Amino acid sequence: MLVVVACWVASVRINWNDWRVDPQYSYGMLVPLLVGGLLLRRWEDRPAPTRPSRGGRAGGMVFLLTGSLLLTLVIPLAEGNPDWRPLGLAASIASVVVTLAVLFELGGRSWLKHFFFPITFFLIAVPWPRNFEQSVMSGLMSWNTSTTTEILHWSGYEAIRQGNLILLPVGVLGIEEACSGIRSLQSGLMVALFFGEVFRLHPIRRVMLLVVALFAALAGNILRSALLAVVAYRQGIDAVSVWHDPAGLIVLVITVSAVIACALRWKRKGSFRSGVNDDGKHSAKTPIQRGAGELWNPSLPFLFSVLSIILGSMLLTEVWFRIHDLPTGRGWEWEISRRVGVPGVSDVPIAPGTLRMMFYPEGFSEKWIGSSKETAQSFFLSWPAGRTALQSVRMHSPEVCLSNIGMRMEGALDDAEFGSPAGMIRLHGWLFSQHGMPVYVFHAIMEQGSASSERERVDDSLKARLRNVVQGKRNRGQRMVEVAFWNLPSEAAARDALKRYFQETLTMRTTVSPISN
């Protein structure tokens, strides 16, 4: 059983960062406890164990070894690439496979079938791959915006949709990711699966419960957006922030209540009775009667080897990365200074929802009118070293965010470079249009504290991720700068304005060593 415990400790550790920093997956912290509760319920009416055949036991050992080796490979990859979400899924699947293989060795097919759902229930807590998640959220936000606009029209309110924004006479209402409904959808699916198992519902009714959770989450979120729009109409756009979180909580409560109500309505009589299987037949609540030596003595060296591999991977990974956290030479850092007291420059508060979506970075935003009469706005954000959310930050690039607020991307521009021989910053450029006028946008995300004097670009190829492990390179924190210009006649004028901005704000300096975790 130590093998199973080691696997789940590693899996929870890999997924923990997303549970901790992303409110969308905060429910994941509760799932291991729910899994434990479901297992205890299943243990009460477990069937009599059956002895696997020799071939079955050999197959179980193959699955046990395969899952353990997969987890052993994932552990160092996750340490060097903490934001690569497929690793969390791989680690969780490996732990599920190992656990099911051990249960098969203990109780044969009867136990494998009986405990299958509680073990696999853990997968509901695994964060979705970011590309898939972003696609779902973008679709939900677009559908939410258009449907809310139609509801306002039917109710006699004036509203115009622009991207994921709703233009009202009193201001602009933004349908952001927190308003997409994906959080209530994921929580509803988790609750549906959990209570379907608690009440031992028929498989068809479990599917129906999932459908109820889906429709309750989507419908509740539409009502939430419409309610916030009406509040903005009647009380002003500032009142939306007051009602935003309470309305979200109401939607979550409605979704969960609808699921629980249907589960209670559909539960079968006697489903709590000990000794009743899923097919309704009686099974004896019988403890394991065969001796430990009959099962475990031949496999003890094998199990000890598997446990040693997993624990060795965890220990050696930590030692390897800690060694490479030690000072290794000279590097460089850069930052953007806030222009306090400069005429024409004003601070722009960053919305709490934006900070929440980007996992609470430090930084600021400024707006100003330049010497060429251009209007400009900049963002400078920084994330500390450790398990930050680099992939999520990159998903909120200008290509995504500016398109969501109604701008149209016309094309990419050549990169712009600034700095000195000690280090170079490369910014990617885009040309957008807003109300027929050009908007020039420049954006860069770079890792902080690199010992290299060469310019760095985010590389998420498999080769680069493996290189992070070989070099013992953890996430040392990121810094992001984004600058946008309006009312300029050409790209050349935008680049000149960008150069003037960096001359006033960019500071670069050498460092003794990289940032250690």
Report the pLDDT value the prediction gives residue 496, as an integer from 0 to 100: 94
Architecture of domain 331-511: 3-Layer(aba) Sandwich (3.40)
* Residue ranges with strand state E in 111-193: 160-162, 165-168, 171-174
Residue 245 has a pLDDT of: 76
The whole-number pLDDT of residue 449 equals 55
pLDDT for 238: 77
Residues whose CB falls within 8 Å of the CB of residue 485, separated by 6 or more in sequence, listed in order: 370, 374, 375, 376, 439, 440, 441, 494, 497, 498
**Amino acid letter, residue 132:** F
Q: What sign for the dihedral angle of Cα 127, 132, 138, 144?
A: negative
| Regions of the chain where pLDDT drops below 50 | 270-298, 451-457, 514-517
pLDDT of residue 296: 41
- Residue 240 is predicted with a pLDDT of 80
> Taking the domains of the chain in order of start, what are their residue ranges?
2-127+291-324, 130-266, 331-511
What lies within 8 Å, CB to CB, of 203 at 6+ separation is none
Question: What tens digit of pLDDT does each residue of 435-452 get?
Answer: 889 999 999 887 765 533
pLDDT of residue 380: 93
387, 345 contact by CB (below 8 A):
no
- Crossing angle of helices 54-80 and 2-21, rounded to 10°: 40
pLDDT of res. 291: 40
What per-residue confidence (pLDDT) applies to 275?
43
How far is it, in rounded angstroms, from Cα 300 to Cα 297? 5
pLDDT score for 269: 52
